[in-house]
Amino acid sequence: MLRLVTWNINSVRLRIGLLEDLVKHCAPDVVCLQETKCANDQFPEKAIRRLGFDHIFVNGQKGYHGVATLSKRPLELVEVRDFNGTEDARHLAVSVKGAKGKKSSVVVHNFYVPAGGDIPDRDKNIKFGQKLDFLTSMEKWCGSFDKSRKSDHARMILVGDLNIAPLETDVWSHKQLLKVVSHTPIEVEHLARVQGAHDWVDAVRHHVGPDETLFSWWSYRARDWRASNRGRRLDHIWVTPALGKAVKHVEVLDDVRGWERPSDHAPVLADLDF
């Protein structure tokens, strides 16, 4: 069994104590972090090794963005890809060793898709254009994979803050958020094309039906985020079809959003048996 957690931590150095609490809370084997907000040489590697993660790969930059994958199992770096030519640190792929060695390994792609700014118009907002370009590049990249169940691309997991809530039940108000970045029709359409390009399975919605409201992000602006519950499901775990049956349990750890000085994102957990 492999327990994987993905979490937009919103500064790994600021919230290293919360990461320690999370590890104690759910004992993950692999943790994929987004928005680490530090250069590689500033990453708190020693503190994380003390949590039991001896295998660490990071793709960071000073003050912004950044992704990191931590593991108790051996890792091999697969690639770091720049999807829209901005040189932002938004992707990291590693191979996680399985119980039977390389034959049972799985590749984990850790993503932090651009948020896209506030105006959903690429002519008025360069950040929104960069987000759409990023997703288009992801679609082309996924479309280049061999879909055969015996190919090297058959055992992959894609996780991270994709910054899009695709379903009506992924947002607190579908009607009110149709023109709000993260739930606009054009973003949802782009994300659907990314997913379809390699037949990715939305592991969370595979276990939690699409009719059930589910969020992973709540704004800092709300005085009582739990009471207002104006959330969005921005954080995702996808698997290739060959791994669909391997996902045994998924959970949004929303209690973490209520911890002291939290990230505005809650971690998402998946247990996989392969």
Report the DSSP pairing between strands 30-34 and 55-61.
unpaired
Residues 193, 136: Cα–Cα separation, whole Å: 8
Is the separation of the CB atoms in 237 and 203 below 8 Å?
yes
Q: Kind and range of the H or E element at 139?
A: helix 126-143
pLDDT at res. 251 = 97
Low pLDDT (below 50) residues in the chain: none
CATH number 3.30.750.24 is the correct assignment for the domain at 2-272: no
DSSP category for residue 155 = S
Give Cα 53 distance to the centre of its chain: 19
CA dihedral 11, 89, 202, 3 (to 10 degrees): -60
List the beta bridge partners of residue 77. 94
**pLDDT per position as a tens digit, 195-244:** 999 999 999 999 999 999 999 999 999 989 999 999 999 999 999 999 99
Q: What is the model's pLDDT at position 99?
A: 60
Domain boundaries, the chain: 2-272
Is this model's pTM higher than 0.85 or not? yes
